[in-house]
Chains A and B, each alone.
Chain A
Amino acid sequence: MNEHGILIVALVLYTCSALFSLRPKGRAGDIVISLGIMMNAVGLIMRGFVDGSWFPALMIDGKLSLPLFLALIALAFSLTGRKTPSRVVAFALVLCSFAAFLPDPAQALPSAKTQLPVGTAFFLTEAVSIALFVSSGFLALSALLFHRDTGWDVRQCIVWGFVMFTICQVLGAVWAFAGWSYPFSWSSRHLVSASVWCLYAALLHAGAARISQRVQHVFAAAGLVPVSFILFYHEFSRMIVSLSEMFP
């Protein structure tokens, strides 16, 4: 079975685990999601193998590794007895897995950009933080739309997502300096990262600034927009350019 086939199996397992998690009792959901995590990891490890050599940098693809980290977050919530957040993240996991795994992923090739370990560390921390931000966004949406009590979980995802995203930005600055000569560039990729960082920095201060929880949830849910821009950067960029050509 090739890498794409394995990722499709992971997608099926994730979908089954989300359905199992709807049951009030039992560990079937946890077992199935763990199998999905294993298949997802195997798919990513296979992606790193190119022509007999293993390139760790090729494993960490933002879109393909996002479901893996979302699944780990859902599992962590479930194992700590937080069933509602676990179900919400499992729902986000299924959506993200469909978007990431259904299209056949293009073959990854090693390049000069992927040779520096700091680049790999950058993509790894980015994928983890994005998974935490996506979780916080869906948890905030569930609080807004279905009045679920997920305030504490949203906060935890934002705190840890922000910590990881800050480390990611420091590593990214080192990588960008080594490769492009500047730690920050006036490009949409760097600007959207700065936008995400500012948004979640604001949300970290929201409690102390006495901002209502509803407003906090609105902004946490709105965070899904710039975060999706990072994940689907090329697709969004093409769409914006096409729109600007239609309406000059």
Chain B
Amino acid sequence: MKRLWTFFSRMDLGFWLLILTSLNLFVGVMVTTCHETLFKKLNFMNLPAWIQTVAARPGLYLWMITLFVLLLLLAVNTAVCTTMYTRTAVRQNRLTERLGIILFHIAFVIALGGHCTSEFIGLSEQITIDAGTTTRVPGTGLAIETVDVRKLTSTINGAEARLGIEATLKAVAPGEPAVPLKIKTMEPQFSLGYTFHLSFMDKGLTEDQAQLIVRRDYGLMLIVLAGITSLIAIVLYVRFTLRERRSL
């Protein structure tokens, strides 16, 4: 156990794991560029469910498996190194100067946890809504009554600029009163434990139709926490750590 702890507390391990992760992600860039449509579906599916649909083509997902292994090792390495680093900082009474770095590493581990939660247990459904009709959202028990859909366009310098889509809806959950929703592209709304988004994509749809995305993602809370923590860490890093290093 002690040898394992010593192994994971090595900084050079972190360096090489990050380099390998970067290379692995770049392989992913190549694969996703060549199979864009297939990977777009993954944004609205759990990873295990998506892998089942492409199980016969390992070339599409092997890089994801190696990526998850690398990220897991990186998370363990980060946690161990940060623990050691914090211990040293406390012992040397230099916690303030190093708090930015410590918080940044904690934020990284939280972000990884958040993304992992999103990929494995997040729920996301994309449905087509049509003005004057009611549509069920699979897997949520929700029904969406579409009151109105409006496409915002403007002619600028002779070209059509698409400025978004607006929709007036009512979300109905079993046994609960209908909740009115007025949403727009780029302006999602949170209600009934879900976030409701209007998609930009309206290819092949009529003027009264739009794509609605209904999402429940607990990983998002961790991602938000990680984002805020990393911004605080950056402020502390610039304020204390860089100043300390410059004065050395």
Q: Please report A residues at the B interface, Cβ cutoff 8 Å.
A: 50-51, 107, 109-113, 115-116, 159, 163, 166-167, 170, 173-174, 177-188, 191-192, 194-196, 198-199, 201-202, 205-206, 208-211, 219, 225-226, 229, 236-237, 240-241, 244
Contact = CB atoms under 8 A, between A and B. Distances in A.
Contacts, number: 154
B96 interface: no
A188 B33 contact: yes
Contacts of B207: none
Contacts of A110: 156, 161, 163
Contact of A50 (B157, B197, B242): B157
Contacts of A237: 33
B29 A181 contact: no
A205 B242 CA distance: 15
Given A107-B159, A166-B230, A195-B25, A208 B186 contact: no
Nearest to A201: B18
Given A195-B29, A211-B12, A109 B159 contact: yes
A215 B112 CA distance: 28
A115 B195 CA distance: 20
Among A159, A174, A209, A219, max chain B CB count under 10 A is at A209
Interface stretch (B34-42, B128-136, B139-147, B167-175): B34-42
Interface in B46-96: none
A182 B156 CA distance: 30
Q: B-side binding surface: helix, strand, loop or mixed? A: helix
A173 B164 contact: no
Nearest to A187: B32
B18 A198 contact: yes
B205 interface: no
Contact of B25 (A173, A192, A211): A192
Contact of B22 (A109, A183, A199): A199
A129 B236 CA distance: 19
B200 A167 contact: no
A210 B12 contact: yes
B192 interface: no
A178 B187 contact: yes
B213 interface: yes
A185 B213 CA distance: 14
A177 B189 CA distance: 11
Interface string B196-208: 0101100000000
A26 to B, nearest CB: 30
Given A191-B29, A206-B15, 19 more contacts: A51-B156, A109-B157, A111-B164, A167-B234, A170-B227, A179-B200, A180-B197, A180-B199, A181-B124, A183-B118, A188-B29, A191-B28, A195-B25, A195-B26, A198-B18, A198-B22, A198-B25, A202-B15, A219-B19
> Which 7 A/B pairs are nearest by Cβ-Cβ distance?
A112-B164, A202-B18, A195-B25, A198-B22, A209-B11, A199-B22, A181-B197
Contacts of A109: 156-157, 159, 161
Given A173-B223, A191-B28, A51 B188 contact: no
Among A159, A181, A191, max chain B CB count under 10 A is at A181
